[in-house]
Amino acid sequence: MTPVFSDVFTEIAVLLLVAAVIGAIGVRLRQPLIVAFIVVGILVGPSALGWVSADDQVDLLAKLGIALLLFVVGLKLDLRIIRTMGPVALATGLGQVFFTSVVGYFIAIALGLLPVSALYVAVALTFSSTIIIVKLLSDKREVDALHGRIAIGFLIVQDIVVVLVMIGLTALGEADDATSLVWETIEVLLKGGLFIATIGLLMRYVLTPLLHQLARSSELLVLFAIAWAVALGAVGVYLGFSKEVGAFLAGVSLASTPYREAIGARLVSLRDFLLLFFFIDLGAGLELATLGAQVVPAIVLSLFVLIGNPLIVMVILGAMGYRKRTGFLAGLTVAQISEFSLILGALGLSLGHINADTMGLITLVGLITISVSTYMILYSHPLYEWISPWLGLFERKRAHREEAQELPTEESGVDVILFGLGRFGTGIARELQQRGHRVLGIDFDPDRVRQHEGCCYAVRYGDAEDPELLATLPLGQVRWILSSVREMPINLALLHGLRGHGYKGCVAVTAHTFPDAEQLKQAGADRVLIPYADAATEAVNELFGVSGEPSPGVGDRNNAEGVI
């Protein structure tokens, strides 16, 4: 097809404009931009409108985007999360990878794929998108929830596995037979060991002092980070690995420096912009006729990912002693394949291991699973309430792992239950304790629960949105239930749950704005706290008194009138 535009600049301009429009539609539909950008590639590519033909230019930008993606993953690789979560991250991550790859392989074989293609498809099905999941969990403020921490832990395990898989596939691609494969593997291990040792020495003696000097200029620091990522990516290619492996190790080499957060924050936007070209290039390389022939296999594999992956996570977490709700919410985060699956497929295509049809199948599975799982995660709590009666199979009679988070407490005398132990909630708990109330504090962040272990009030792990938690609380004896959490959906769910359990006491919740406060009052709250507004009122009353006139002894807390 003859290109519509005669120069590269115009083609890129049109590409960006179309991407912005389709991306806006995708955001409106609450879809990740990955889906929108692949659709853009299909739309403007040769199989549809044929507007873009600058393959070399787009391909170069795509490769830079992939390198920066792996660099940022390595830069943010926080092994402390894996250590903090203990064996659950490793068991869930490796268990899900093993189950999905084995079962997925046999499903792919049953669908008529050749063994090598089936292997690529099976491995591609195992990886979930760290970028998408962290974004969705952040939007729902569930990154610090128990299921969020578990999910991030096994996503990190998956990221490490995908890098190892890429190294293995690169070695396999350069081997001609079994004997050469053995020697190629040995050579890769030796080169890899030397590569990592060299990077380790640079980390120990060069990189940290060098970054101290470069950090005087933030622009120079970012420029060096990009150059370092691309340079080690090129070294990775030279040594027989791949640019992805080299860029990943470049990120790991800077992860222990005090500048990792600054570098990562500045590179995220550039990474996302360049990844746009990877997904567009991927979509442009697909043929609509080929995709049409892959619809049925793609639906079968997508159903396996959407249902099978969450099921195996629930089985593993249930066996390890976690509640069915935690297993369900964590399991939903693996109900899609990731950008790494597409990168892995592109690597196999470049090595000649798979053909365009197999790549199209992987891409179509990605479009389906990412689109559907996004809504599953966004509406995870209503979905759980609907399906929870059938999930008892995935929970032990005693969920000892989560019960370990619930410290033994003397709850017989509790008269106030407080949800949320952040700064605002902690202040409320201490003030209530000082006034003689018996407080039970509840928070969904295990670290916060541990931090409050030595306080003078009882604490317990729990989620205000969990209807099963309310059944375990002494609702019949408490006079007040307070929520210092400001998220409207959480407070509405709490009010709904308390009504369902027949709670007769008073409820106070927290809101950001006055309209939110009105909605919460209509939902049944007896009192709504608006921290900044309440603090402003108290400050004015303390300074000027309730009448509005300056009180005698302004500034003397003992003499001020009208103090709340």
Provide CB contacts within 8 A for 197, sequence distance 6+. none
**Res 64 pLDDT > 60:** yes
| Residues 291 and 146 grouped into a single domain | yes
Query: Average model confidence (pLDDT) for the chain?
Result: 79
Torsion of CA 171, 173, 174, 180, to 10 degrees: 70
Residue 153 lies in a domain: yes
Structural domains in the chain (count):
2
Is the sign of the CA dihedral 355, 356, 357, 360 positive or negative? positive
pLDDT value for 564: 27
**Res 82 pLDDT > 90:** no
In this structure, the strands spanning 416-419 and 439-443 are: parallel
Report the range of poorest mean pLDDT among 95-109, 370-384, 508-522: 370-384
Q: How confident is the model at residue 560 (pLDDT cuts 50, 70, 90)?
A: very low
Instruction: Quote the domain boundaries for residue 107.
Output: 66-394
Is the sign of the CA dihedral 533, 537, 540, 543 positive or negative? negative
User: What is the distance between the alpha carbons of residues 420 and 417, in angstroms, rounded to a whole number?
Assistant: 10
User: What is the distance between the alpha carbons of residues 431 and 437, in angstroms, rounded to a whole number?
Assistant: 9
Three-class SS of residue 509?
A: strand
Structural contact between residues 340 and 127, judged by C-beta atoms closer than 8 angstroms: yes
**Res 39 pLDDT > 50:** yes
> What pTM, to 2 d.p., does this model score?
0.65
User: What is the distance between the alpha carbons of residues 7 and 290, in angstroms, rounded to a whole number?
Assistant: 29
- For the stretch 239-254, pLDDT in tens is 877 777 788 888 888 8
- For the stretch 422-480, pLDDT in tens is 888 888 988 888 888 888 888 877 777 778 777 778 888 777 877 667 777 888 788 89
**Res 53 pLDDT > 60:** no
- For the stretch 166-180, pLDDT in tens is 777 766 655 555 455
Percent with pLDDT over 90 in the chain: 8
Residue 12 lies in a domain: no
Structural contact between residues 30 and 374, judged by C-beta atoms closer than 8 angstroms: yes
- CATH number, domain with residue 110: 1.20.1530.20
Average pLDDT over residues 346-368: 84
- For the stretch 260-293, pLDDT in tens is 777 887 887 888 888 788 777 777 766 666 666 7
| Residues 101 and 221 grouped into a single domain | yes
Beta strands in 206-324 (DSSP E): none
pLDDT value for 110: 92
| Residues 388 and 439 grouped into a single domain | no
pLDDT value for 555: 43
| Residues 368 and 246 grouped into a single domain | yes
Structural contact between residues 462 and 443, judged by C-beta atoms closer than 8 angstroms: yes
pLDDT value for 42: 79
| Residues 184 and 285 grouped into a single domain | yes
Among 363, 394, 425, residue at a domain's last position = 394
